[in-house]
Amino acid sequence: MTLPSRRRTADGTAGPEHTTRPAIATLTMNPAIDLCWEVDHLEGIGKNRARVRSVAVGGGGINVARHVVRFGGRATALHTSGGETGLRLNRLLDEEGIDHVAVGIGDDTREALVLFEAGSHRSYHIVPPGPRLSEREGQRCLDVLGRFTGRCPYVVASGSLPGGLPDDYFATVAHHVKGAGSRLILDTSGPALRAALAEGVFLFRCNRTEAESLTGSPVNGFDDARALNDRLLSTGAAEIAVTTLGALGALCSTADGHTELYAPPLPGTPLSDAGAGDSMVAALTTELAAGADPVRACALGVATAAAAMLTPSTEPFDVDVARSLRPLVRTSRGRAV
């Protein structure tokens, strides 16, 4: 069934169905159409016969918006869109019923391939760099975002920065969001990450790889994560720092101290960690927007990341499973949150 279009114009206006102001805005500068193919066994010689498992729109902020809605929240996804792939991306989001604003660009939106090998339950995510944006296109995205900041208490900037934009682009986003009175939740990597942290954000989530890029040394456990989060808070890089540690869990740090959250035992075989980070950010942002404190919000995030591990490739996690795992998330004091 094709749902009515929920796409807004680039000025942020919409029809009567959008009279309720969204609580969360997400920004995806480098989205993609994820093509998921399945093979029984990946062979190095000859043809690999594949089945199309799914075709869906991906990209950090879009994934976050999708899951916020699945948790019962409200979100609008702001994203770039270019060429024939961009038109298809817009159509897929319309059919999915995601409230979104497409900002047109000259270059083609990228396509990514997720290859799932059924025999081994392994997923291979193959992602091209994506389009190059001009300075004017980057400014247009900021202009569109400006029509949501202030009206939305939380803005999530998630995913990679496309070519052509300066490394301090997310720092500029952070400056605009703070100036409008909204709170920025950041989940990115590379030089764009360092520049944004120099500006300062409300909440920063990083995985172990991103944490190691900031520290220059391995981040193996809670002690290593605590040292990083201390630095982020003391320098004003973030008001809340969340460092995830894979199967171990996550460390949530605020001015009130550090809380270790241990990942719950999985009720099944882990299939893929793709999408776990976006799922976690969606859960904790939904909880924060509903008024939860950071630790309780992070607890649902840890449970949701665990639920995402049970699905192959980038397929959506089971919301009921995520909620059922939340009571199993323990703090460093062994207390359920």
- Catalytic residues, by residue number, are 278
Helices (H) and strands (E) in the chain, counts: 10, 15
3 state SS for 168-196:
CHHHHHHHHHHHCCCEEEEECCCHHHHHH
Backbone φ and ψ for 152, nearest 5 degrees, come out as -105, 125
* Alpha-helix residue ranges (DSSP H) falling in 235-275: none
**Cα dist from 302 to 7, 134, 172, 308, 326, whole Å:** 31, 37, 29, 10, 8
Backbone φ and ψ for 276, nearest 5 degrees, come out as -65, -40
State whether the Cα torsion 230-59-72-280 is positive or negative. Answer: negative
124 vs 251: CA distance, rounded Å: 28
Q: Is 48 helix (H, G, I), strand (E, B) or coil?
A: coil
**HSE-up of 139 (CA within 13 Å, CB side)?**
3
By the 8 A CB rule, do 10 and 86 touch? no
Strand partners, 102: 79
Tokens at residue 46, please?
Answer: 């000859």
Backbone φ and ψ for 184, nearest 5 degrees, come out as -95, 130
DSSP state of 215: H
76 vs 173: CA distance, rounded Å: 17
**Cα dist from 165 to 60, 138, 161, 191, 193, whole Å:** 17, 7, 7, 12, 13
Residues 6+ apart with CB under 8 A from 151: 21, 22
